[in-house]
């Protein structure tokens, strides 16, 4: 059975806390143990040095260590309350105040310690004692020559009892700290997990299509940022839905207009087909409206294919100068009819370019159609071609109404129409943007209300279509 994120979070925090406390307690216990043992050793060493000083004062060591043991054994017992061992210069046991017949200490270590440091200490567990024993060995010297070794020993029972008491206290404190830390970990995990649960609930509502609820970001920074991102996604979905609904309404209206015209003329001609002039006019209008309807449907299909990356450019060599001149010829009658100035400007006589001429024509027809729509009588529309080496730039410029600042960043978005009633489906400029992007190029907008608009297209003379598709 899968566990929750909260379960794993609390489990991991608990493991980390217990492990950290365990390591800390081990370190504390070893530190306390070392402290008590070092303290006991230091005290015994000081006591041993003091006792050895008394022995030097009351015993004549000139007669040799073995004779001293024979003659002055009582003195050793008198000035030592602990266990004392007397050894010769080779660490052989001569006297033990508790009656041992041999030493349990390592002779080699004793001699090495005294030679290197002037004394020897050790902590060992011996069979003759229930507790550990601390030993301090000091040299007995006469006329700057070591004639024997005195070993003072003391039980560490009191030190071990103190260590055990500290150990119980440390473990008790550790358990209490662990319990408090685990409780705090549970509280902290809830602070982290609750916003995640709220985000999950929010995402479930969004998945169901319920966009009425808006998340109030709370908790850690990451969940706040995630909540803000989900709110942004929600707002974008609502915005897209609104745009989509508006688009459907606009398309329905745009499709309805030619259909109404066709139906009206069909009904008129059906009722009265004797008037040849009326018949001719009616059929012409039906043909024009049918072409308009077909063009709108084609635009929608093209746009769908472009969005789904199903369009492949049928590349052919194009002379851009001749291509633009053909567009000039196509739009010249409209310019004359609408009393507008229209011309082509180029800094080259010829510019060869490999691309799909039909798609490229669709780009400039859309841009020119917009330019004519939003340019008043006696206004000017021009196309400016510039060769820039590896790239070339084509600008469609007009001195018409201009685009409001609030609309400029949205003009290439699908279905966006702005506030003007001169726009149709709102996909023309989006189609332009997609085709330019597919051609490896870039399109920029420069506009000022009341002064006109420029669409500046930069295209590479050579481009990799597959790379453009990936982008």
Q: For position 422, what pLDDT does the model report? A: 52
Which residues sit opposite 121 in a β-bridge? 136
In a domain, 466, yes or no: no
Q: Is the pLDDT of residue 457 over 90?
A: yes
Regarding whether 155 and 28 lie in a shared domain, the answer is yes
Write out pLDDT tens, residues 118-141. Answer: 899 998 887 777 788 889 999 988
In a domain, 196, yes or no: no
Q: For position 465, what pLDDT does the model report? A: 54
Regarding whether 158 and 140 lie in a shared domain, the answer is yes
Q: Which residue is it, tokens 């390591």?
A: 23
CA distances, 156 to each of 38, 97, 124, 271 (Å): 11, 18, 10, 127
Q: Which residue has the higher pLDDT, 464 or 328?
A: 328
Q: Which of 273, 306, 339 is the last residue of a domain?
A: 306
Regarding whether 317 and 302 lie in a shared domain, the answer is no
In a domain, 470, yes or no: no
Q: Is the pLDDT of residue 292 over 80?
A: no
Q: For position 466, what pLDDT does the model report? A: 54
Q: For position 309, what pLDDT does the model report? A: 65
* Token couple for 201: 């609930």
Q: Which of 116, 146, 162 is the last residue of a domain?
A: 162
Q: 40 and 134 in contact (C-beta within 8 Å)? A: yes
The backbone torsions φ and ψ at residue 355, rounded to the nearest 5 degrees and listed phi first, read -165, 180
In a domain, 92, yes or no: yes
In a domain, 273, yes or no: yes
The alpha carbon of residue 177 and the mean position of all alpha carbons in its chain are separated, in whole angstroms, by 33
Q: Give the count of beta carbons closer than 10 Å to the beta carbon of residue 383.
A: 22
**Whole-angstrom Cα distance, residue 321 to residue 217?**
57
DSSP string covering 391-445, please? EEEEEEEE-SS---HHHHTTTTSTT---S-SS--SS-HHHHHHHHHHHTT-EEEE
Q: Is the pLDDT of residue 204 over 90?
A: no
Q: Which residue has the higher pLDDT, 380 or 88?
A: 380
Write out pLDDT tens, residues 174-193. Answer: 899 889 988 888 888 888 78
Q: What is the mean pLDDT of the chain?
A: 82
Q: Residue 210: helix, strand or coil by DSSP?
A: coil
* Kind of pairing between the strands at 341-346 and 380-387: parallel
Regarding whether 330 and 291 lie in a shared domain, the answer is no
Q: For position 52, what pLDDT does the model report? A: 80
Q: For position 275, what pLDDT does the model report? A: 72
The backbone torsions φ and ψ at residue 97, rounded to the nearest 5 degrees and listed phi first, read -70, -10
Range of weakest confidence among 47-51, 182-186, 245-249: 245-249
Regarding whether 342 and 289 lie in a shared domain, the answer is no
Q: Which residue has the higher pLDDT, 409 or 325?
A: 325
Closest to 463 (Cα-Cα) out of 433, 442, 432: 442
Q: Is the pLDDT of residue 146 over 60?
A: yes
Q: 215 and 206 in contact (C-beta within 8 Å)? A: no
* Token couple for 178: 């662990």
CA distances, 117 to each of 85, 88, 112, 251 (Å): 20, 19, 8, 102
Which residues sit opposite 86 in a β-bridge? 95, 150
Closest to 230 (Cα-Cα) out of 201, 258, 253, 254: 201
Q: For position 242, what pLDDT does the model report? A: 77
DSSP string covering 69-122, please? HHHSHHHHHHT-SSEEEEEETT--EEEETT--SS--S-HHHHHHHHHHHS-EEE
Q: Which residue has the higher pLDDT, 252 or 346?
A: 346
Range of weakest confidence among 51-60, 119-128, 154-163, 409-418: 409-418
Q: For position 392, what pLDDT does the model report? A: 93
Sign of CA dihedral 195, 200, 205, 211: positive
Q: Is the pLDDT of residue 467 over 60?
A: no
Regarding whether 336 and 288 lie in a shared domain, the answer is no
Q: 436 and 457 in contact (C-beta within 8 Å)? A: yes
pTM of the model: 0.47
Q: For position 86, what pLDDT does the model report? A: 83
Residue 69's domain is classified under what CATH number?
A: 3.30.450.20
Which residues sit opposite 135 in a β-bridge? 122, 153
Q: 367 and 443 in contact (C-beta within 8 Å)? A: no
DSSP string covering 240-256, please? HHHHHHHHHHHHHHHHH
In a domain, 229, yes or no: yes
**Whole-angstrom Cα distance, residue 242 to residue 244?**
5
In a domain, 186, yes or no: no
Regarding whether 280 and 317 lie in a shared domain, the answer is no
Regarding whether 293 and 260 lie in a shared domain, the answer is yes
Binned at pLDDT 50, 70 and 90, residue 424 comes out as low
* Kind of pairing between the strands at 352-355 and 380-387: unpaired
Q: Which domain holds residue 14?
A: 5-162
Regarding whether 285 and 387 lie in a shared domain, the answer is no
Range of weakest confidence among 28-32, 141-145, 345-349: 141-145
Q: Is the pLDDT of residue 425 over 60?
A: no
The alpha carbon of residue 315 and the mean position of all alpha carbons in its chain are separated, in whole angstroms, by 42
Residue 268's domain is classified under what CATH number?
A: 1.10.287.130
Q: Which of 306, 323, 354 is the last residue of a domain?
A: 306
Write out pLDDT tens, residues 88-120. Answer: 888 888 888 777 777 888 888 989 998 888 899
Residue 361's domain is classified under what CATH number?
A: 3.30.565.10
Regarding whether 13 and 136 lie in a shared domain, the answer is yes
CB-side neighbour CA atoms (13 Å) of 312? 2
For 396: left if phi > 0, alpha if psi spans -120 to 50, otherwise beta; the answer is: beta
Q: Is the pLDDT of residue 254 over 80?
A: no
Q: Is the pLDDT of residue 421 over 70?
A: no
Q: For position 308, what pLDDT does the model report? A: 64
Regarding whether 452 and 423 lie in a shared domain, the answer is yes
Regarding whether 156 and 233 lie in a shared domain, the answer is no
Number of domains in the chain: 3
Q: For position 453, what pLDDT does the model report? A: 92
In a domain, 368, yes or no: yes
Binned at pLDDT 50, 70 and 90, residue 208 comes out as confident
């Amino acid at each position: 059975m899968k566990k929750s994120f909260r379960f794993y979070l609390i489990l991991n925090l608990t493991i980390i806390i217990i492990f950290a406390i365990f390591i800390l307690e081990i370190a504390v216990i070893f530190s306390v143990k070392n402290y008590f043992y070092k303290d006991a050793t230091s005290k015994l060493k000081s006591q041993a040095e003091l006792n050895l000083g008394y022995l030097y004062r009351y015993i004549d060591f000139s007669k040799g260590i073995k004779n001293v043991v024979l003659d002055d054994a009582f003195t050793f017992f008198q000035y030592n309350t602990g266990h004392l061992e007397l050894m010769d210069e080779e660490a052989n046991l001569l006297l033990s105040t508790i009656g041992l017949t041999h030493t349990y200490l390592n002779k080699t270590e004793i001699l090495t310690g005294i030679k290197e440091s002037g004394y020897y200490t050790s902590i060992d567990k011996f069979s003759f004692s229930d507790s550990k024993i601390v030993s301090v060995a000091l040299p007995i010297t006469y006329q700057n020559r070591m004639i024997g070794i005195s070993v003072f020993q003391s039980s560490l029972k009191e030190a071990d009892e103190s260590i055990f008491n500290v150990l119980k206290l440390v473990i008790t404190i550790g358990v209490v700290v662990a319990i408090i830390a685990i409780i705090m970990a549970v509280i902290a995990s809830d602070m982290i997990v609750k916003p995640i649960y709220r985000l999950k609930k929010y995402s479930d509502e969004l998945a169901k299509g319920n966009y009425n609820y808006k998340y109030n970001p709370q908790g850690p920074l990451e969940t706040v940022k995630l909540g803000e991102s989900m709110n942004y996604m929600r707002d974008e979905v609502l915005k897209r839905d609104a745009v989509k609904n508006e688009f459907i309404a606009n398309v329905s209206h745009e499709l309805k207009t030619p259909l109404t015209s066709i139906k009206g003329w069909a009904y008129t001609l059906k009722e009265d087909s004797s008037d040849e002039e009326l018949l001719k006019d009616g059929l012409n209008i039906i043909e024009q409206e049918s072409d308009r309807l077909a063009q709108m449907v084609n635009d929608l299909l093209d746009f769908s294919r472009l969005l789904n990356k199903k369009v492949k450019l049928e590349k052919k060599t194009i002379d851009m100068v001749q291509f633009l001149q053909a567009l000039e010829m196509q739009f010249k009658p409209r310019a004359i009819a609408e009393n507008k100035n229209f011309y082509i400007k180029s800094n080259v006589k010829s510019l060869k370019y490999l691309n799909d001429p039909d798609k490229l024509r669709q780009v400039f027809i859309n841009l020119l159609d917009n330019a004519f729509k939003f340019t008043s009588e006696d206004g000017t529309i021009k196309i400016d071609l510039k060769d820039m080496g590896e790239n070339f730039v084509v600008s469609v410029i007009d001195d018409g109404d201009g685009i409001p600042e609030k609309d400029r960043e949205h003009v290439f978005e699908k279905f966006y129409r702005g506030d003007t009633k001169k726009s149709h489906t709102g996909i023309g400029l989006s189609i332009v943007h997609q085709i330019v992007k597919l051609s490896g190029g870039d399109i920029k907008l420069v506009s000022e209300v009341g002064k006109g608009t420029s669409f500046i297209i930069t295209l590479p003379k050579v481009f990799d279509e597959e790379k453009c598709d990936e982008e």
